Amino acid sequence: MEISPFAESDIDGLVAILRENNQYAHPAVEGPEAMRRVAACGAALFLVAREGGRPVGLVRGVYDGSRAMIHLLSVRRDRRGEGTGTALAEAAIRELRERGAPTVSVTATESSRGFWERLSFAALPVFLMLKTD
């Protein structure tokens, strides 16, 4: 498995992974055009894990010069339990730290909380709030 920056040729495979994991509720945020915008944004981090040239997972985050946040991690279901998610998370953390981030936070769901805790993340008493209009 190799982990490297997003490429345009990854789009169809990444959309399939996001759909499979019920992480494609907002195509304007997760879809092909959003992927292109993220890839073009200097503050963004967008890494893809590939096996045989095909995407098996992705991680996205951002570092704004003060705070770093991983906001999306997704791995193909048939690749779970093989270390792909951990490798993606560690690669993202390493890259964000190299950019100068003093800390890294993550948006997590209740079902992913244990995964992040195993990587030494601690839960904070905050709420993620969303405005769509």
Q: What is the pTM of this model?
A: 0.93
Q: Is there a domain that residue 130 lies in?
A: no
β 54-63/104-106 pair status: unpaired
**Domain-embedded: residue 8:** yes
Task: State pLDDT tens for residues 50-88.
Answer: 999 999 999 999 999 999 999 999 999 999 889 999 999
Average pLDDT over residues 41-46: 97
Which tokens go with 65?
Answer: 């010069």
> Is 56 inside any structural domain?
yes
In a domain, 90, yes or no: yes
Q: What is the domain-level CATH number for residue 6?
A: 3.40.630.30
Q: Is the pLDDT of residue 133 over 90?
A: no
Asked if residue 132 belongs to a domain, the reply is no
- Could you read off the pLDDT of 23-43 as tens digits, one per residue? 999 999 999 999 999 999 999
| Domain containing residue 78 | 2-118
